[in-house]
Amino acid sequence: MKIVAATRNNGKIKELQAILSDLDIEIVSQAEAGIDIEVEETGDTFEKNALIKAKSVSMLCDDPVIADDSGLCVEALGGAPGVYSARYAGENASDEEKNNKILAELGETKNRKAKFVCVTALVFPDGYEVTATGETYGSITYEPHGEKGFGYDPIFYSDDLKKTFADADDNEKNKVSHRARALQALYEKLKTITDK
C-alpha cells in the first residue's frame, strides 16, 4: 500500500518510514506526489488539525494520506501553548523566543510538569479515518540546555531519558517521543485492519 505523507518536513517522513517499515507500506512525501499546498491549522485540538491536514491532501490524490499535529502542553499554564505551539510567540518568532516566553511565564513556579502530544491521522480515499495519540512526559527546565533537536527541546526535561530532548540524540528521542508513540499506536491499529 502507498501512503502520502501530508508534510514538508523530511524528518517526519524518515520517522514514518522507520516505524512503519515492517508493514507493506511505501511512504511518499506530499512533494513527491506532486501536491504543493500549505494547509492552515484552524482546529482547536491536535486531532482536528491532523485530520484537516490529511483531508486537505486527500482531496488532491487517490492514495491514503497520513498527517500529524503536535505540541507542548504545560500544566501550570493551563495546557498552553498546546495547539498554538508553532506560533506561540508570534508568527515569525524563533525557537529561542518561544522557549524564553514559556520560561518567563513560568518564572519560579514549582509545578513545571509538561508533556508533548502528537496525534496522527490516516485518511483513506473512501473517507475512512483512523487517528492515534502519543504522549511523552517531563518538566520544563529553569533554563535552556542542549544543542540538538528543534522547537521546545532545550527546555523539555524528559522523564524517560533523564535529560532534555536537546541533549538527546535522534535515536534516543525517537524511542520515547510523542510522535513515535502516536505512530506506534497507529501501527497497532493498522495491523488489526490489515490482518482482517
Please give the positions annotated as active site: 69
Residues with Cβ within 8 Å of residue 187, at least 6 apart in sequence: 19, 20, 23
- Least CB distance from residue 194 to ligand IMP, whole Å? 26
Determine the interface stretch with ligand IMP among 66-74, 125-133, 138-146, 186-194 (rule: CB under 6 A): 66-74
If one asks whether residue 84 binds ligand IMP (CB under 6 A), the answer comes out as no
Determine the interface stretch with ligand IMP among 13-21, 54-62, 145-153, 185-193 (rule: CB under 6 A): 145-153
Determine the interface stretch with ligand IMP among 26-34, 65-73, 126-134, 137-145 (rule: CB under 6 A): 65-73
If one asks whether residue 69 binds ligand IMP (CB under 6 A), the answer comes out as yes
3-state secondary structure of 82: helix
**Which residue number places its CB atom closest to ligand IMP?**
151
- Cα–Cα distance measured from residue 146 to residue 154, given in angstroms and rounded to the nearest whole number: 6
- Cα–Cα distance measured from residue 112 to residue 109, given in angstroms and rounded to the nearest whole number: 7
Question: What are 89's three cell numbers?
Answer: 510567540
User: Helices in 61-161 by DSSP H: which ranges?
Assistant: 95-106
Task: Look at the chain and count its residues.
Answer: 196
If one asks whether residue 151 binds ligand IMP (CB under 6 A), the answer comes out as yes
Nearer to ligand IMP, 142 or 194 (CB): 142
Question: What are 160's three cell numbers?
Answer: 524517560
Binding site for ligand IMP (CB under 6 A): 68-72, 85-86, 116, 149-153, 165, 177
